[in-house]
Amino acid sequence: MSHAAATTSGAHGLHADHHGADLSARNITLDPAKGKTLSLLLIVVGLAGLGVTIAGGFAVGIKHAVGAYHVGAMSMLAISLGALFMVLAFHLIGAGWSVTIRRQFENVASLVWLPAIMAAGTFVIEVATGGHLYSWLQKGAQSDPLLAAKSDYLNPVFFAIRAVLFLGLWVFLSRKMFAYSTEQDRTGDKWLTNRARFTASWGMPLLALSIAFAAFDWLKSIDYRFFSTMWGVYYFAGSAFVSTAVVVMLLTFIKKQGRLEGLVNEEHFHDLGKLMFAFTVFWAYIGFSQYFLIWYANIPEETSFILARKHAGWGAWTQLLMLGHFVAPFYILLWRPIRRSMVALSLLGIWFLFMQIADMVWIIRPMVYSEQIGEYLRQLDQGVPVTADPIRLQHIWLDIAGIVGAAGLFFGLLIRKVYSGQLIPTRDPRLPEALHHRNYV
C-alpha cells in the first residue's frame, strides 16, 4: 500500500560530497599581501584619530575628548559583542544555513579584546584624571544621597573587578569559539561542533549578564542618577543590529574580490537581510518600550534622561535615530529585492554602522555638556527666557576624531584578520546544508 519504501537508516543523513562547490584555496582565502596595505592604512588613520583626540583633550577639554573616545570604543564593542552573540546562537540552535557565513562573525567576535580594552581604558583615564565623564568618580560626589545609596555597587574597585571579569569572559569565549572552528578546519573532527555547542550553552547566559552589566557600568553610570531595567537589552539590541550589518559589508567586500563563489550566495544574503530587518524592529521595540514607559509614568529621576535628549538641540538627533535606526530601514528592508541584493544590503550596512554610532552619541554626548543642559532645562522649566547656551555640536571635529580613532583601529585589525585565514569553515559537518540553502517561500 505504500509507495515509498523504507530507507535503511532511521535518520536521514547528509551527503558527504559538496556537489561541486569550489573549496579550493583561491576561492576561500584572500591574498594576505593585499590586505596588509589596507589594514595598515586603516590602522594609521585610527592612530591619527586617536592622536587628534588626545590633542583635543588638551585643546578643548578632557571631558569632551574622553566622551568622543568612549563613543568610538562603545560602538566598536557593540559590533564585536553582537557578533559573539550570533556565533553562540548559531551553535546553540545547530544552524545549518549559516555555516558559510559564520567565519566572518567569528572574525569580528575574536576582535572583542580591542574595543573592550579601549572602553575599559576610559575608566582608567577617568580614575587618573579624577572623573569627568563618570561624574560619580569626582571628589565629593558621594555627598549625593542618590549615589551614596548605590555606592556598594558603583565604586571604583568593584567597577574595575567587573571590567576585568567582562573582559576575561568575552576574550575567552570569542577565542574559544574561533579555536573550535579553526581546529575543525585542520582536523575535520565533527565532534568539535558539539563541543562548541556546549561552550555556547553556558557562554550564552553569562554573555547576556555581562552585556547587561557592562552596559550599566560603561554607559548608564555616566548619568548615575538614571536607571532603567531595560538598559542592557537596549545595548544588546543595537549590537546585534550593527554586527549583522558589518558582516554583510565584510561578505560583500570579499565577494567583490571574486571569492566565495558558490559558497555564499543571494540566499545567504537574503537571510542576513531578514536578520537585519528583525534586529531593526527589535531595537525599535526595546527602544520604544523603554521610552514609552518612562514617558507614561513621568517620574522625574527617569525623565531627566529623556528631557536631556529632547531639548537643547538634541531633539533633532533623537528624531534622526527614530527615522534612521528604525523607520527608514524598516520600509527599505520590507522589499524582498533589497534583502536579496548584497550591494543594497551592504550600503544599508554602512548606514546601520552610522546609526549605531549615532545611538552611542545620543547616549554619551549630551552628558559631555550635562551642566549646560541642566541649566537650559532649569530655565525652560521655570518659564524664564532661556539664556543658557543651547547645546550644539561644539567641536564636532573632536567627536569625529574619537570615532575615527576607534573605528580605524578596529577595522584595520579586522581586515588583517579576514585576510589571514580561511573565509569559511571548510570541514564543518553542516557545510552541505549551507551550500544547498534556499529560501523557498
Partner 1 sequence: MTSINPDKVTAERLAGLATAPGVSHPAPGTGDGSLVDDPAVRAPLVLNNRSFTEVTDIICGYTENKPGRWWLPVFGLTSTLAGLGTVMILYLLITGVGTWGLNNQVDWAWDITNFVFWIGIGHAGTLISAILCLFKQKWRTAVNRSAEAMTIFAVICAGMFPGIHVGRIWMIWMVFPIPNANAIWPNFRSPLLWDVFAVSTYFTVSLLFWYMGMIPDFATLRDRAVQRLRKFGDAAQTLPFTSIKVDNLRAYGYGLLALGWRFSSRHWHRYEKAYMLLAGVSTPLVLSVHSIVSFDFATSVLPGWHTTIFPPYFVAGAIFGGFAMVLLLLIPARELYPNMKDFITLRHLENMAKILLVTGMMVGFAYSMEFFIAYYGGNEYELYAFKNRAGGPYWWAYWTMIFCNVVSPQLFWNKACRQSPIVIFIVSFLVTIGMWFERFVIIVTSLHRAFIPGQWGMFWPTAVDIGIFIGSIGVFLTLFLLFMRFLPVFAMAELKAVLPQADPHHEPAGHAAGGGH
Partner 2 sequence: MLADLLARFGAHNYMPFLKRPPARFVTESGAEVFGVLAEFHTPAAVYHAAEKVRDAGYTRWDVHSPFPIHGIEDAMGIKRTILPVIVACGAFTGTGLAYLMQWWMSTNYRLPVQGKPPEAWQPYIPIMFEISVLLAAFTALFVMLMLNGLPRWHHPLFRSDRFLRVSQDRFAISIEAVDPKFDPHAARKLLETAGAKTVELVEDPS
243 close to 346: Cβ distance less than 8 angstroms? no
- Find the shortest distance in angstroms from Cβ 223 to partner 1: 12
295 binds partner 2 (CB under 8 A): yes
145 binds partner 1 (CB under 8 A): yes
Spatial separation of the C-alpha atoms in residues 332 and 339, rounded to whole Å: 9
- Find the shortest distance in angstroms from Cβ 107 to partner 1: 22
Cβ contacts of residue 37 below 8 Å, gap of 6+? Answer: none
Number of residues that bind partner 1 (CB under 8 A): 62
Cβ burial of 239 (10 Å; 0-12, 13-18, 19+) is buried
334 binds partner 2 (CB under 8 A): yes
| Residue with smaller CB distance to partner 1, 260 or 286 | 286
What dihedral angle (degrees, nearest 10) is formed by the CA atoms of 387, 391, 395, 397? -160
Q: Which three cell numbers stand for residue 392?
A: 550644539
Residue with cell 557545510: 431
Cβ burial of 6 (10 Å; 0-12, 13-18, 19+) is exposed
298 binds partner 2 (CB under 8 A): yes
323 binds partner 2 (CB under 8 A): no
Build a one-symbol-per-residue string for 410-429: x at contacts with partner 1 by CB under 8 A, - elsewhere.
-------------------x
133 close to 67: Cβ distance less than 8 angstroms? yes
| Residue with smaller CB distance to partner 1, 8 or 387 | 8
Residue with cell 589594514: 39
| Residue with smaller CB distance to partner 2, 58 or 440 | 440
368 close to 63: Cβ distance less than 8 angstroms? yes
336 binds partner 2 (CB under 8 A): yes
- Return the residue of 194, 257, 343, 390 that touches partner 1, per CB under 8 A: 194
Build a one-symbol-per-residue string for 220-239: x at contacts with partner 1 by CB under 8 A, - elsewhere.
-------xxxxxxx------
- Find the shortest distance in angstroms from Cβ 152 to partner 1: 8
| Residue with smaller CB distance to partner 1, 89 or 347 | 89
Cβ contacts of residue 51 below 8 Å, gap of 6+? Answer: 405
Indicate the SS3 state at residue 171.
helix
Under the rule (CB under 8 A), what is the footprint of partner 1? 1-16, 93-94, 96, 145-147, 149-150, 153-154, 190-191, 193-194, 205, 208-209, 212, 216, 227-233, 274, 281, 285-286, 289-290, 292-294, 296-299, 301, 429-430, 433, 436, 440-441
Q: What are the residues binding partner 2 (CB under 8 A)? A: 3-4, 288, 292, 295-296, 298, 334, 336, 438, 440
